[in-house]
Amino acid sequence: MVYIGHFSFDELGSQKQIRHGYFSCLVETVSAEAAANEFKELIISLKKMGDVFGNIVTVYMEDIIEIQKVPQTAIVTQIQSSSGEFPKSVSKSLPNVISPGINAYGWAPDIEQNQIDGDADEYKASNPFIKFDDTTSGAA
């Protein structure tokens, strides 16, 4: 079965400022417990490599989703809502993943804007993918 793990974390930024973030992991294995063990091993190895996970000090497992059969229509695997405006943040897809058949695709307007050149404190703005009209709840 395929398992998706959703995690949150605490970290110290380059100037030792308090930060937090979220990441997800994916694995095919025999059980949720086996997936948790795989995720733990991965996170520990990524922490040892430094790079993106180098400043993480605490990781929290939010949940593990078990997928017996990949759905033929899109599903949402996680949603989070926070108070206040969207904070400045850095996002990186597939950190330290070098595996045939696994690819990340940036949306054309954002590809160059969202390239991170090793500076974890560099913030890039994204263009909206969908913007809803407040009066009708429909996409504008």
Q: Give the angle 110-15-52 at the CA atoms, nearest 5°.
A: 45
Q: Let me know if residue 77 belongs to a domain.
A: no
Q: What is the pLDDT of residue 135?
A: 63
Q: Let me know if residue 57 belongs to a domain.
A: yes
Q: Let me know if residue 18 belongs to a domain.
A: yes
Asked if 65 and 39 count as a contact pair (C-beta separation under 8 A), the reply is no
What residue ranges of the chain have pLDDT lower than 70? 107-126, 135-140
Beta bridge partners of residue 9, listed in sequence order: 21, 59
Helices assigned H by DSSP within 8-135: 32-49
Residue 41 three-state SS: helix
Q: Let me know if residue 76 belongs to a domain.
A: no
Name the domain count of the chain.
1
Q: What is the pLDDT of residue 9?
A: 93
Q: Let me know if residue 108 belongs to a domain.
A: yes
Q: What is the pLDDT of residue 41?
A: 96
Q: Let me know if residue 120 belongs to a domain.
A: yes
Q: What is the pLDDT of residue 118?
A: 47
Q: What is the pLDDT of residue 114?
A: 44
Its domain, for residue 55, covers: 1-68+102-132
